[in-house]
Structure 1
């Protein structure tokens, strides 16, 4: 399966996030996307950290952004695998995060995983 240009994708991704443009981020995602994140579990507890479908992902990110008006990401590096990109970035709190994105044959994200250092997602934060 094809993997997009790593640096171009990461540049588009971080630009959209820093503009708080959820629709621009979602444009890269398949309608039936599966996304996991410990932050999703905190923002929308009913998900258990597993978000299914683009509409649910939109709801998660829109809700999360309402509580994070200072959200800002800085890409540290990007890693490319077969049908997979990992965007290693620093968020507005200074935490290092990895976004693991798996692409389908059409070049859309079919599956994504936000991964954090355990201390960054502790209940006290």
Structure 2
């Protein structure tokens, strides 16, 4: 993993969330992406927290933006692995959250929203 590329991905991720630009966010995601999140378990009925495919992820994120009009993220740290980027950030409520993004050919194939306990 190129650390400059990982840092740039995190900057774009923050910018695109804060501008509420779903098309830009989804441009980094594979069509067959699998995303897990405890929030998805609450927002997407019957998902058990697992969202499969880009179209379903778009619907989940759009619903999240609708439910949280004040959504705002601030990246605080970025971690790069072999084919993984972790973006640690604070959300609009000050909560510490991490997105664990697994990549293939520069696209997110698996993502995991994780929350501080």
Q: Give the alignment's TM-score, normalised by structure 2.
A: 0.95
Aligned to 2:110: 111
Which structure 1 residue ranges, 5 or more long, are not aligned? 119-125
Alpha-carbon distance in 2 for matches of 1:3, 1:36 = 25
Does residue 1:47 correspond to 2:47, yes or no? yes
Q: Give the alignment's TM-score, normalised by structure 1.
A: 0.89
Which structure 2 residue ranges, 5 or more long, are not aligned? none
Deviation of 1:10 (Å): 0.3
CA contact (8 A) 1:3 1:83 kept: no
Alpha-carbon distance in 2 for matches of 1:116, 1:23 = 25
Change (3 A) 1:58 1:3: farther
Aligned to 2:93: 93
Please tell me the root mean square deviation across aligned C-alpha atoms, in Å: 1.1
